[in-house]
Structure 1
Amino acid sequence: MKYFLTALWVFVCIGVLAFSHITWNKQTTVQAVVSDTEPSVKQDTNGVNADDKYMALAANLPEAAKKQLKLSLKDGKPYSILFVGSTALQWGSQVTESLLKSYGSERITTEMHTYDLTSNDFIGENKQLELAAKKAQLIVIEPFLLNDNGEVTIENTLANLTKIMEDIKAESPDTTFILQPSNPIYLPKLYSTQVEALKNYAVANNITFLDHWTAWPATDNIDIKNYLINGQNVPNEQGTQVWAQYLIEYFVSK
């Protein structure tokens, strides 16, 4: 009897251990399957990483801007772009429409801030503090070059530009800047040297410079007058479209 009970107890123990082992294996297998089927990145219906799609559109942006955009996509927050300059910037609606169509309003936001001021007046009225309060991640600046022409020396224009960016950086250290000139005009003379100085400033400070003048007729070609309002040095509808298309092709890489 004693041996029978001992044998029975051994059999029961073996059965309990076997059952526990089988159950544990099933739980582990289920957990592994669930883990393997959970996607690690957002994908579209074609299995393409959605974030990669938008980063490809932004291929032309400065590296610092692309890093901020990537973080915004990861966090699910819109990336903010601010366009700043003189009242010659009349292409805001076209550029904004294209960006929102390409990226979506949940991934990108844009604002236009234009001023009929010289750079001296802009700084004198502390308008740069209004921009700083926006805390935009990317700011594209046309630093009032044509407004300053004949009114403010290029040295002062560039000093004012430095002041604008420094005050913005004080509020938003991660803000990236892009510079661009105002529109070209026929036989610009002094103005062309100011634009060249802005380009050199951008190179010296490692800031991206958008040379949209390359998309217009040459400044010594009288045809350029067809892109400006008659008797004025501001773009007409055709000139605005040329400028807008240049910016669209920059911000939405194909």
Structure 2
Amino acid sequence: MKRSIGLFILVLITAVVLIVGWLYYQDRIDNAGGAASGSGQQNGGSDDSSRGGGSESGINAEGLNAGLQNQLEEAEQSGEPLRLVVAGSDAVTSEGDNSFPQQLADRIEENWDGISTEVETITYDDSTSLEVLNDGGPEEMAGAGADLFIFVPFAVSDNGTVSSDDTIYATREITEAVQENDSAYYISAPQPWYEAQYYLEQLDAVEGYADEAGVTYLNHWSAWPAVDDEELTDYVGEDTPVPTEQGHTAWTDGIWQHWTENGS
């Protein structure tokens, strides 16, 4: 009897030791997993900081276009002005200091403390894409030393004069020239045109090219009245679509939305 009791006690002690050992082992595994998770979160925090979302930078990267974000961070670190260059027809500057390039620069300064801007516009009157190409336009644009470069294709001048294929050819040559530099490069849709027809086909072709080339296409038309809405003539001329100040503000609004709300 005493022998049976002693055997029972031995088995019980063995079981308790095994259970305690197992619990200790599980606790070590759980703690190791928690440390690994904590390390991952710290790494994630470092990644966020490098994107402008952490405490090391005053730039909020949530929804921010990557090209703009990188250039903002570089300007913040260097203390140098952020250089915005916009190239296109005279429509780009039709309202002087109230045109969309300057409005964009003003918004950048208003939204990011410590960031100053410098704006340059390169315009080519009413030249077609092929005329700009033959007159050394790509080389001039590439030499502008931009941090942010926005190219506005010459679709208005090309309309009815230059084929969509030639518009794309010139756009490709300009894009490849400018992209050789360390700048954030964008293709912006030109201004809308009231009751336009062939013009829309040209722009569809440009947008298709941008998509294939992996270039961010800034289609800002959602900020304007529709092309079949007569209200659009308050934003651009009816016969020649030169933007008014109201049009330039819509242009700014549309690009700003792309840059700050879509991450694209």
Q: TM-score of the superposition, structure 2-length normalised?
A: 0.67
Q: Which runs of 5+ in 1 are unaligned?
A: 1-47
- Aligned pairs for 1:218-237 (under 5 A) are 218-237=226-245
Whether 2:93 is the aligned partner of 1:87: answer no
Residue in structure 2 matching 1:180, options 188, 191, 209:
188
CA spacing shift, 1:64–1:95, aligned 2, 3 Å = closer
Which residue is equivalent to 2:64? 60
1:127-155 Cα deviation digits (max 9, x unpaired): 22222222213211111111111111111
1:137-180 Cα deviation digits (max 9, x unpaired): 3211111111111111111111111111222334x2x2331111
The Cα shift of 1:182 comes to 1.0
Looking at structure 1, the residues matched to 236 and 82 of structure 2 have their Cα atoms a distance apart, in angstroms, of 33
Residue in structure 1 matching 2:108, options 83, 99, 104:
99
CA spacing shift, 1:132–1:84, aligned 2, 3 Å = same
CA spacing shift, 1:158–1:73, aligned 2, 3 Å = same
Q: Secondary structure at the match of 2:76?
A: helix
Which residue is equivalent to 1:114? 123
Residue in structure 1 matching 2:76, options 73, 76, 89:
73
Whether 2:178 is the aligned partner of 1:168: answer yes
Which residue is equivalent to 1:245? 253
Stretch deviating more after TM superposition (200-209 or 244-253):
244-253
Which residue is equivalent to 1:49? 55
The Cα shift of 1:107 comes to 4.6
Which residue is equivalent to 2:39? none
Looking at structure 2, the residues matched to 243 and 177 of structure 1 have their Cα atoms a distance apart, in angstroms, of 17
Whether 2:152 is the aligned partner of 1:142: answer yes
The Cα shift of 1:96 comes to 2.4
Q: Secondary structure at the match of 1:60?
A: coil
Looking at structure 2, the residues matched to 242 and 67 of structure 1 have their Cα atoms a distance apart, in angstroms, of 25
Q: Which amino acid aligns with 2:55?
A: N
CA spacing shift, 1:85–1:249, aligned 2, 3 Å = same
CA RMSD in angstroms, aligned pairs only: 2.6
Q: Does the aligned pair in 1 maintain the 2:179–2:185 contact within 8 Å?
A: no
Percent identity of equivalent pairs: 26
Stretch deviating more after TM superposition (95-104 or 111-120):
95-104
1:195-235 Cα deviation digits (max 9, x unpaired): 11111111111111111111111112222222223543222
Looking at structure 1, the residues matched to 196 and 175 of structure 2 have their Cα atoms a distance apart, in angstroms, of 27
The Cα shift of 1:190 comes to 0.6
Looking at structure 1, the residues matched to 258 and 140 of structure 2 have their Cα atoms a distance apart, in angstroms, of 26
User: Between Structure 1 and Structure 2, how many residues are aligned?
Assistant: 202
CA spacing shift, 1:194–1:56, aligned 2, 3 Å = same
The Cα shift of 1:67 comes to 3.2
Q: Which runs of 5+ in 2 are unaligned?
A: 1-53, 94-98
Which residue is equivalent to 2:211? 203
- Aligned pairs for 1:122-161 (under 5 A) are 122-161=132-171
Looking at structure 2, the residues matched to 69 and 94 of structure 1 have their Cα atoms a distance apart, in angstroms, of 17
Q: Secondary structure at the match of 2:120?
A: strand
Looking at structure 2, the residues matched to 227 and 236 of structure 1 have their Cα atoms a distance apart, in angstroms, of 5
